[in-house]
Chain A
Amino acid sequence: MAVVTIDKLTKIYDRGHAPAADNVSLDIAHGEFMVLLGPSGCGKTTTLRMIAGLESISSGTVSIDGRVVNQVPAKDRDIAMVFQSYALYPHMSVKDNLAFGLRRRSVDRAEIERRVANVAGILGLSELLGRKPHALSGGQRQRVALGRAIVRDPKVFLFDEPLSNLDAALRVSTRGEISALHRRLGATMIYVTHDQVEAMTMGTRICIMNGGRVAQVGPPLEVYRNPANTFVASFLGNPPMTLLPAIATDKAGGRCLMVGSCEIELPSSRCPPLQPGATVTFGIRPEHLAQESASNGATIPVDAEIVRVEPLGAETIVIARLPGVEKLIFARLAGEATMRIGERRQLFLDAGKAHVFDGNGLALRPA
């Protein structure tokens, strides 16, 4: 276990171009499972590779247990990494793949045998030790890659999108296996992914990145519930949060927004008083729209024209248009909604779960 501290980490590949990682700062605690989440090209893998020592650092520092390791070679950082492609040595057996790192570290032969057998037992690889990687299935290769990291007993585990090459079913089970492994080892893990389901289900905390910068850090549900900006709001969630342009009015103490021709009054818990006429962004998650009004009357009825209906069995995704708004709104309705394309229906919006962002896209929170 180890504490990993990243301070203003920056990576510039080409002068004159935008940095791949830009002033990334992050504190990762002992035994934490930190997920770096973001779209392709957001700098998450670059950040991970700088932590690993596989990429030089343009500026900033990486510290492990308080010791700055910028100049420490990858092999001496006591870090293990699981690669997206698994990176198994094709000319070696599973056993040799597992033992390769230990042999370099001059671990006693008997100890290597013991550790390899132990890890193979944990990951169900005991029967496959003599096989070469090409004779393994995708899931088995993935487990060997995991085993190669575990067998070294490192201070920090790094994962670079390790599940992206697996099929959907295997991804779910392997996700569970990695989480179980984290609980079992209690090790510090840093996990890079662009898959928000992996981030939400596995991470102790998630760090959402965009354009090389950290957009928000926090526990997954906390980030989901309270996105710091429009990027996080629209990136997390599937379908994403609907973001609509709105103008503040002078009603309800500055907490009333005109979204198209809909007037939406927000509770004081969701929004500070706004200057009348201020241009803001109104956000609402699909699950916070319903077909029926809430019994406590906290929901606001809005007229919507149904544009598309996607019945998924347990729920129905409805894509609709509010009057006077060009952008479409997503609604996740429970069960099988009986709606027809083109009809006008009333949807009920939970204003107590709505979000408001200022002109720069930053969340507005009540003081």
Chain B
Amino acid sequence: MAILRRSLLLLVLTLYTSFAAGPFVWAAMMSLRTTTEIHRNHFAFPNPAHWEKFPDAWFNSNYGIYFVNSLQVVVAAVVILTLIGAMAAHCLARYRFRLNRVIYFILFSTIIFPPQITIISLFQILVQYGLYNSKVGLTLVYVAIQLPLTIYILESFFARIPADLFDAARMDGYSDWEIFWRVALPIALPAVATTVILNFILLWNEFLYAVVLITDESNRTLPLGIQRFIGDTQEDVGMIATGLMIAIIPVIVVYAFFSEKLIQGMTAGAVK
């Protein structure tokens, strides 16, 4: 009976893994094949494997530039989001002041607006401030769009930190600023890791704001770079797949680095 149950579980897991990992493996195989080979047989194994496509994409198809641009914009946005989001969440969760809940509600209510509604006004604002077509402008927009969700996730976690800990730190002689850095933030690390991963993945793959707010080749991010290989009449599928593989590496690195904390953050409160 136990063997049957185990086999059944294994079967379900295998099916799910194939379903989830299938497209990734397919894209990985295509990244090592030329577009001509792919058109001939969509699902064939790469034979021979065209490893030279990676340096070719990096140097000749500007993926190197897109990658660095993406890295600059997303890392800066995630760092700013994490710092401001954590401080705001700590403040909203910890301090009682007038309009606390009103501010929280206004912040949170912005989540419901679809990006299409704000994008025209954002475009206008960025043009007026001279930030259109710049990485700084895109970074600020990314911070703005992700901040409410970041605060929402972190606030609920910060609110669960017992108030006695802050009182104990005050008695130990620490200021509010020091308490945030030395007590609240380290305790909230699992939740912070969750938001880091979430924001990194969402922003790394972000396309809509980038395509509207960036037009310069030198400022394009990876999703825009990949889109460049999709033409009106034809598309370079092989190069798109190679670009996808290059794009996915940082996401895997970030996930591998923070995943343990992410799981802690997701299960926090589930057990004592």
Contact = CB atoms under 8 A, between A and B. Distances in A.
A163 interface: no
B174 A87 contact: no
A294 B100 CA distance: 68
B164 A100 contact: no
A54 B189 CA distance: 26
Of the four ranges (under 10, 10 to 19, 20 to 34, 35 or more), the interface on chain B belongs to 10 to 19
Nearest to B183: A89
Given A89-B183, A91-B187, A79 B171 contact: yes
Interface in A58-99: 73-75, 79-81, 83-87, 89-91
Interface string B153-187: 00000000010110111111110001000010011
Contact of B171 (A80, A85, A86, A91): A80
B265 to A, nearest CB: 14
A256 interface: no
A65 to B, nearest CB: 18
Nearest to A80: B171
A301 B255 CA distance: 82
Contacts of B173: 75, 101, 104-105
A74 B187 contact: no
Interface in A293-352: none
Contacts of A84: 164
Nearest to A134: B272
Given A75-B174, A101-B173, A81 B167 contact: yes
B162 A85 contact: yes
B162, B168, B170: residue with the most chain A Cβ atoms closer than 10 Å: B168
Interface string A184-226: 0000000000000000000000000000000000000000000
Given A75-B174, A101-B173, A105-B173, A81 B168 contact: yes
A52 interface: yes
Given A89-B183, A90-B187, A54 B162 contact: no
Contact of A83 (B164, B174, B178, B187): B164
Contacts of B170: 53-54, 73-75
A130 B212 CA distance: 54
Interface string B220-237: 000000000000000000
Contacts of A49: 167
A87 B167 contact: yes
B187 A87 contact: no
B214 to A, nearest CB: 40
Contacts of A101: 171-173
A104 B164 contact: no
A52 B172 contact: no
A83 B167 contact: yes
Interface string A137-171: 00000000000100010000000000000000000
A87 B183 contact: no
Nearest to A99: B172
Contacts of A90: 187
A186 B168 CA distance: 23
Contacts of B167: 49, 52, 54, 74, 81, 83, 87
A75 B186 contact: no
A240 to B, nearest CB: 32
A87 B189 CA distance: 18
A101 B173 CA distance: 6
A87 B171 CA distance: 11
Contact of B162 (A73, A74, A87, A104): A87
A52 B164 contact: no
B172 to A, nearest CB: 4
A87 B186 contact: no
Contacts of A54: 167, 170-171
A36 B165 CA distance: 23
A52 B183 CA distance: 20
A327 B131 CA distance: 82
A64 to B, nearest CB: 14
Contacts of B174: 75, 104
A352 B167 CA distance: 49
A91 B184 CA distance: 10
A58 to B, nearest CB: 16
Interface in B101-140: none
A91 B188 CA distance: 10
A90 B164 CA distance: 12
A87 B161 CA distance: 10
Contacts of A86: 164
Contact of B172 (A53, A73, A91, A104): A104
Nearest to B175: A75
A105 B189 CA distance: 26
22 contacts: A52-B167, A52-B171, A53-B170, A54-B170, A73-B170, A74-B171, A75-B172, A75-B173, A83-B164, A85-B164, A89-B168, A89-B169, A89-B183, A89-B187, A91-B186, A91-B187, A101-B173, A104-B172, A105-B173, A148-B168, A148-B172, A152-B172
Given A89-B187, A91-B186, A105-B173, 11 more contacts: A54-B167, A75-B171, A75-B174, A83-B168, A86-B164, A87-B162, A89-B168, A89-B169, A100-B169, A101-B173, A104-B178
Interface of B: 162, 164-165, 167-174, 178, 183, 186-187, 189
Query: Which 8 interchain pairs have the tightest Cβ spacing?
Result: A101-B172, A87-B164, A87-B168, A75-B173, A104-B173, A91-B186, A83-B164, A85-B164
